[in-house]
Structure 1
Amino acid sequence: MTQDTVVIDPQGSIINLKYGLTHPELSADGNYLYHYNYGEARFDKVNLTDLLLEETLHYEKEGPDGMGGYIGGYALTGNDQVMVWSNRLNALFDQEGKKVRDLKLTRIASEIEGPETFPIRLMEHPSDPNTFYGLYGKWLDHQFFLIRFDLETESYEKIPLPETRKLNDYRMEIEHEGKPAGGFSPKPIAHAIQDNKIVITNGAFNEAYVYDIRLDSLYLKTWESQLTPNQNEYKLPKTVELLQAEEHYMNFNESIYFLPPKWDPVSQRYIRLSFTTQFSENLDEYGEAIETGAEVYLTVLDKDLTMLGETYLEHYPKNPSQHFFTDNKIWLYENMDDELGFVRIRLD
């Protein structure tokens, strides 16, 4: 493996890095990075070949082409339209700021409407423009499930994910003076459909839930690491007072945490990073733990999710959560004096 550092030329503009690299998504060919400006309804389009900000895509917050002030998430479709999802809106936008299709998913499946259900990921079918898949969660009963939407017949099928129930062992309810004040739990994550498969992972276990859309089958794929534990080993309390929550969150992150696999359309492989976090004994001004470093591990998988190898990244001792994988290189976000930079690791 070889490693270098690059900085993106903003071309006289400003790339907003207040929240880091938020929701990085790649174009279908892997040549462009999209960076969502949180709360601003705009996306920076970065040319990864020339290492420059090519343009900024501007959208309306309100009106017939509005996507709202805040979105739950977004993805690039096969033809690089921007697919946006939230509790209120599921729609496709072109790159000129126009809404080209309102999917109206809450009208098809009323059970996903309302604040008790939250959308995690929306996925387009690779060949059927009237079929979409969604990954959803319900916080109160800690339920996770897939839904297949048929826009032509305005019908849907709910696909339970029973293996996600074991995430209940990592659910911590937070209280303040005896009243609910939030909670913490790793949740399932999915990305775009590859090879007709939806790959669902979570941060606590070294495994993937795989749904084959052609076979309509669901199975569990487990990996055995020789370098790290295969699940997070910290036992979170079921309920904790607000002032003690940060300590347990820190202890959880000092154990192994698994990031979602990243697909490279060029090399046709996945990588999956996992890491343990190191903290200072002191807290910051907000009472939150201060990260001082991390031990990061790399796993390489083929397109069938078979493990090809794993290694310890001794030259990258920090949290790797904001990253992507394209052209056989892992791009790890780095704020370089308020400029968008990346540490790149090329795989041999």
Structure 2
Amino acid sequence: MKNFLLIALGLLLFSCGENKTETKADFSNITFSMDTVIVDAGDEIINLRSGLWLSSLSEDNSRLYLWDNQATMLDIIDLEDLKLIEKVKFEKEGPNGAGGFVSWLKHVEPDKVVLSSFNSMGLFDLKGNKVRTYKMDDLEGDGLEEREGFNQRTVVTNEGKVMYGMLGGWMIENESFAKADFENQTLKKFELPGIEELTDYQIMLKSGDRTMIMPAAKTLRKVGNRLIYSSVAFSDLFIIDMEKDSVYQISYEPTLTAKAKKGGYPSELDSDKRFMEVMAEIHSEVNFEAPIWDEENKRFYRFSFETNPSDDKEGPLLGSAQSKTISKVFISIFDENFKLLGESRLDDLESVPQFPFVKDGKIWHYVNVDDELGFVRMELNY
């Protein structure tokens, strides 16, 4: 009887062990379903003239803060209930002045925003009162070039006391990554290890009295205590550990696309026609979007795409790759440490998601629905 019990117990344990075998998700053939939701603006109008270019999400993706330069107004939108909560009027001039033209804004947890206009940055509460003016020239440490400042890709932390981002400016050819600590009044520039070895592009157009620079688009995103720096030109990522003030590089090998743009483009051109031709060639190669974080599933998603070069020579002179005719769209999926889990071509997706983020396990992205603010919600199926 004793031996029988031992055998039965062994079979039970073996059976339990078999049930623990996990089935791996197959990320090589992803399908998706979509629906579209529209924000209820009530009797108000949400100005979508610039799309979501001048917008910022709260850290939990529950609220969207959208700036209207025409009205000098901040729209606060609840993404849980999909409705406009409030319109906050700001002053252009004076002690609480936001400036005549805001070039970027960032929401600052829990209840403030940074507004940046020409040669001016301020921290404001959500009633339109300025609580701090940032002065880059007062910072000690690494020096600034003339008119060098943070741009739209800036991340603001520590309740508005610290900024991370790319320092650049009009006609400044080389950007640098930096941390500005406005509490301790210090500026520190970081080297991104190995970035000089990666293919990038920056095209200068000199035509008559005009001079324009078209750099490769770059993005900086905050996820927890990490900042993720990415470029449209290559797959490699740079991770900034904010606790350690350190930087490391993530390199992976895509299987469905090239690892980077091929490079070797002319750095300076003297005609609009030739400029459009070169940009069409650049856009037709692989373009990498910034990774977006899925808190619910503990994964990163990264879109990449190619354009049709034959249809890419029309439109605005400085048009982005996303605005061109898209020929292929891909998605790559990573774990929380950026181990590549799989890739898939999304044949049914005809455009690249604009301003994507993940909420409740679904990928949301902006869409204009008859001049109303809408979002497409994508649910991925493995």
Output the amino acid matched with 1:276. Answer: E
After superposing the two structures, state which structure 1 stretch, 100-109 or 110-119, moved more: 110-119
- Which of residues 61, 82, 89 in structure 1 aligns to 2:92? 61
Q: Is the 8 A contact 1:92 1:101 kept in 2?
A: yes
SS of equivalent residue, structure 2 residue 154: strand
Describe how 1:1-348 pairs up with structure 2 within 5 A.
1-38=32-69, 40-86=71-117, 88-108=119-139, 111-112=143-144, 114-117=146-149, 119-126=151-158, 130-137=161-168, 140=171, 142-161=173-192, 163-165=194-196, 169-177=200-208, 181-192=211-222, 194-233=223-262, 235-240=264-269, 241-278=271-308, 281=311, 291-348=324-381
1:133 Cα deviation after fit: 2.8
Q: Percent identity?
A: 30
Cα deviations across residues 50-100 of structure 1 (Å, max 9, x unaligned)? 222222232222111112122332221221311233552232211111112
C-alpha distance in structure 2 between counterparts of 1:162 and 1:229, whole Å? 21
User: Paired residues, what number?
Assistant: 345
C-alpha distance in structure 1 between counterparts of 2:95 and 2:162, whole Å? 23
After superposing the two structures, state which structure 1 stretch, 128-137 or 196-205, moved more: 128-137
**TM-score, scaled relative to structure 2:** 0.79
1:200 Cα deviation after fit: 0.7
Q: Is the 8 A contact 1:132 1:150 kept in 2?
A: yes
**TM-score, scaled relative to structure 1:** 0.86
1:317 Cα deviation after fit: 0.6
Question: Counterpart in 1 of 2:13?
Answer: none
1:288 Cα deviation after fit: 8.4
**CA RMSD, 1 decimal:** 2.9
Output the amino acid matched with 1:83. Answer: V
Structure 1: 5+ residue stretches without partners? none
C-alpha distance in structure 2 between counterparts of 1:46 and 1:91, whole Å? 22
1:219 Cα deviation after fit: 1.2
Find the structure with the greater CA-based Rg.
2
SS of equivalent residue, structure 1 residue 9: coil
1:40 Cα deviation after fit: 4.1
C-alpha distance in structure 2 between counterparts of 1:78 and 1:231, whole Å? 35
Q: Is the 8 A contact 1:122 1:135 kept in 2?
A: yes
Structure 2: 5+ residue stretches without partners? 1-31
